[in-house]
Structure 1
Amino acid sequence: MNFKRLILPATIMLVALAGCATGKQDNDTSLPESHTTDASNQPFFKAVRKVGFEDAGRFIMVEGSQCTEQANGPEPATMLITHDMPAYVNNGTVILNGWDLRYLHSDHEVRTLRADITHSKLVTGGGGPPVLVFEVAGELSDQNWDDPYEFCVYYTGLGFNSAWINARIEGDYNGISTQALQIHSEGPIATLESLWDSGTLKGHDSMVVIPRGFDFQYDNQFECEFRFPPCRWNDPADHHLRQVAYSLFQTDASPNPDGNPHWVTQTIFKDSGTRTHWVRTRAALIGGESVKLRASFLPLNPRSGRTSICRNGTDGIVHTETFRIYDLPYDYAVPMLTGWNLDYECDHQHVQRAGIWIHDIRFDPDSNGLEYKLSSILRDKNGAPGFNASHRISVLGFNRSSIPPVVVDDRPAPDIQIRLRKQHLNP
């Protein structure tokens, strides 16, 4: 039996039961930025939680990050994350908005690169506040799975009152996964077409694809290295990294004429050449009359061979920029990292750290403006040569229902006494 599959359902049950004995927590209070448990029986982790925007009683956007360490072995690093929501939230979901992976000791070649929200659910009932619960898996491994690494996930959660926002989530718990084997002769860009025909979204519904994860892995092939024990024919293969990229393509949120939502994801995972590798992506859907989309697509440009443009100085630091989007025609707006690219500047290298994530998200309802910061890193052990990073943000928008909910006043009617006054008329 695969006991890991039982983690999220068991935790959901515990969260619901625990809600009976706990009160509502203050969502405006950030948790400490780091926390270390007993190393003898628990993994190290650090977490950040904060509210990016809230329209009390109607909508809330939260963001957070959490990290863990994995010592070794072929199993990915996993985390179970919970985020309390206000009592009015009866629908909600989570978006993968970034990742950060690093080997803890030196740099190495790469076999697998993964960041993936594998399960998600909004737990309601039990007497406590609603809780957004999701499970995350990440991996940075080489051929032998013997190097410890740290995995950090960056996410944005949203919750709303369905009386004010007409929207629902499909494929939320397991996500909608698509997998393909990209043969080296097919080129460096893998194209995955996804189709959803198992839910309740109808042809008249607007629909938006929510990014949930990626998993890149070189295919097994004979690649012998000087080591003990000796190589075998079907040993896992690892290689240098030149470029890794992801781009989710959806033109707009227009109603689907056939009632079956479909979308396309393109990826790159390569060293200086092109090698056969596996690609798996994961997504979820949100649809309804309130759902809107400002779509953006990142064209992928494969990097091959050695270039003559190389910065000689050390550049192995996190780059952070601030971006602003103005005049969005939505009551509420949430940014989604639907396209990103990381590549070494002049040639393939070992990897010590790689990641790209958005954070410090702010939505201003007065100006309908959205602000966020983007951080990125790609380096080997000495930080040279430098790296390039690019990204695209698609905006998930919500407009409140045109017919607001009816507020029923269930207070008892006042005790009104009417006194009749007799009038005498003169003859």
Structure 2
Amino acid sequence: MSIQQITPKQRGYLIVNSHPAGSAATVDRQWRRIEPAAPVGRAPVVLVLGASAGYGQALLLAGLRRQGIRGVGVAYEAAATERRTATAGWYRTATTAALVEQDGGDITFVNADAYADATRAEVLELLAERYGPVDHLVYSLASPRRTDPATGEVHHSVIKPIGAPYTSPSLLFEDGTPRIGTVDLTPADEAEQAATVKVMGGEDWQLWVRALADADLLAPGFTTVALSYVGSEITAPVYRQGTIGAAKEHLEATAHRLRTGLLADRGRAFTVVAGAAVTQASTAIPSIALYTSLLRTVLGEEGWRTTDDQAVDLWEQLTGAKELTLDEQGRIRLDGWELDPAVQDRVRELWADPAAALAADPAGSAWFYGQFRQLYGWDVPGVDYTTGVETSTPWPA
């Protein structure tokens, strides 16, 4: 037992501790927001890589509530110590497992580095023994580094433009008060570009599909999706035209190679272009916080599509309940609400003078800050932060 009264330890867009009850409450709220549906037919076997946060977590929860999925969720989270809480993803996973058990579901959660061959071997053995062939593989990993299993070399991703420096307004928070700052980035060199592609491109995704195929664990009609993002032309210099964009292009090229090669007569592979979201990955990208805040100001609550909304939409497309929304590159698009021309025109107007936009309507930035804090379990409505809480939570058995 480790009962502690804790307060957030925050440095910019990083909070180094998390609140167990707040993290649990965010999952419970997601669970209740997703309208359940009666599953039709056999429960699909699903492998979710990156199951403890962002779109991976949303797709796992939506799959449970809407499709009755069973299978394996993989995440890489840190347990609590005497000096630190566990990561928010650890607490979220524990809560998800409890909800699955209450609902009579069957998901096994593996806490391990999904980039490692040892993890692949562990997961393949688990699938073979308990679940059988996989119907859907969801690839939603986000990490600043990756160890190449073939060479042992550790590659580090960078968030930089390519070809020219990048200067942009940015959203900063001092003591919770938003203000407009400036970000200046130098262009990436070739080594940094290559390393970012190694971490965030499609190499590891392809290794997972190959491993499943070699183990005879691809179910008939197998489908795999990898989460991606395009975003606005406003943020393109640091995103789609930068190092991250180069990695996303490699991810998309990998989907094509899988469709026409390994899965040509065995299944489908798509990248999924999701809409803007406040995630631990997105808050690390310069100017994205400001863009997302202004987008929220324009759309408001009614026009915003949450990760849960988009996850439900994607499952309906993957299962055939709705027609696939494909672009000319064969990518599944969930971002039409964000890239609507009228919406983007209004965001560009606000971007032209973000300080004035912030002064005129701070609702978007306040929403963003609240969403960011809730990623770590802080500022969640209904949670009492004045009392002690158990920080040592076991990983789901």
Could you state the TM-score of these two structures normalised by the residue count of structure 1?
0.28
Choose between structure 1 and 2 for higher RCO, CA contacts under 8 A separated by at least 6 residues: 2
Larger radius of gyration: 1
